[in-house]
Structure 1
Amino acid sequence: MAGGHRVQAVDFVLSKIALSVGTRAESIQAPVAYEIPKEVVTEAIVNAVAHRDYTDNSSVQVMLFADRLEVMNSGRLQPPLTVEKLRVAHPSLPGNPLLAESMYLLRYIERMGTGTVDMIRRCVDAGLAEPEFDANGGFVTRIERGGAGPDGAPLSGSTQETTQEDRGTTQETTQERILALLREDPGLTRRALATRIGITADGVKYHLDKLRNAGRIRHVGATKKGHWEILNDG
């Protein structure tokens, strides 16, 4: 995802989420607020581009759901970084140092090592839950929808009542659908699963990795000609 595509991805998300315009009581320009702050959307996508594993054929995935935004990439955290350490001040350890440096010089990145902390602060200031970071099977940033407008009131379409349990249920449902399809045809590819479920191939990869890490499935044989075997099935 080059610079132009990054801008298109940000614009796509902003065009699909709620927008509130305030009054000109304090300025000649009316204040504008998105249900997810623009800076948070931009940071999530820039981070995904900078830290993606470019030896992997998968691309950065930006997925907007009714209750959340998910930005997924194939990169992994560089030791000694952990998901917990991303929530506090930490050193910058990019998987692609040259790319990260270039993005910094082009001002896509303001300060090295501050992106996730800044995202957390901006989400809290907007009345959102803190972003979730998941480093199992690639890296995923999840951001709740439904922030406050310039007047402090929740934006229309707000889903602040959506709980972590609800999001977990959505993921479990997708994974159960994948398991059901694999029971019928263990040779289904990621692309075939994606077509039947209605998500991206990278989204399927994310859920397959979660199922594999949980010990529920394993892949047998060559990557393209092998098949999936379901373990501990009920």
Structure 2
Amino acid sequence: MDFIGAYSSGNLLFLLKGLGTTLLVAFIAIIFSFLIGSILGILRYAKIPVLSRIVAVCVEVIRNLPLLLIIFFTFFALPEVGIKLSVTMAAITALIIFESAMLSEIVRSGLNSIEKGQIEAARSSGLTYMQTMQHIILPQALRRMVPPIVSQFISLLKDTSLAVVISLPELLHNAQIVNGKNVNYVIPIFLLIAVMYFLVNYSLSLVARRLEMKERTNRKSTGKVLPAKQQTGEMM
């Protein structure tokens, strides 16, 4: 093992560049998958005739496919129908498709966790369905969804390493290139990238844990959720 040679400035900069690509791809995928997943989750929760059923089928199909297959599809299959994506865009697209389906289930479950009585009370007080969703359901559901959503983002960040199969220049890809220079670099380099992944993911897990504890504290302090009429009165 050659720790000194493996941790040369050139190698470290190359690995940091790969980490930057990993974080960039993950960040873009997180933003768009959250937006799309939220829309899909709300559509399933709303139970719109036909549309909700179509969304449900698409989500279930994607959730039960391996992410690696979706990555292969976006990079190798889409060009066959005239859609050619760069390596980075193919990886981002695959992650967005997969994570949107996963997040939609978290959103739908979060919305379903809100007591039906609150919806009925809000509607009986004169609020429209959209006003009920905006002022009563979504604010409470979002607080409950934050911990599992952050956990899913952690999984997304780790899943970026699967894009090594299409040569995305992310952290694991660059580590393999460094390892190719000298067999004595393998253990030091893999130890280093393990630390990098750990620090990033552990930081996110701490955020998720803190948010979860905060949500539990809020539930204990309030005892129960305020009725819809009281909530709308406070907002006014």
Task: Report if TM-score (shorter chain) is over 0.5.
Answer: no
Judging by fraction of residues, say which structure has more strand: 1
Scaled by the length of structure 1, the TM-score of the pair is 0.27
- Give the TM-score normalised by the residue count of structure 2: 0.27
The structure having more radius of gyration, on CA atoms, is 2
More helix by share: 2
Q: Which has the higher contact order (CA 8 A, sep 6+)?
A: 2
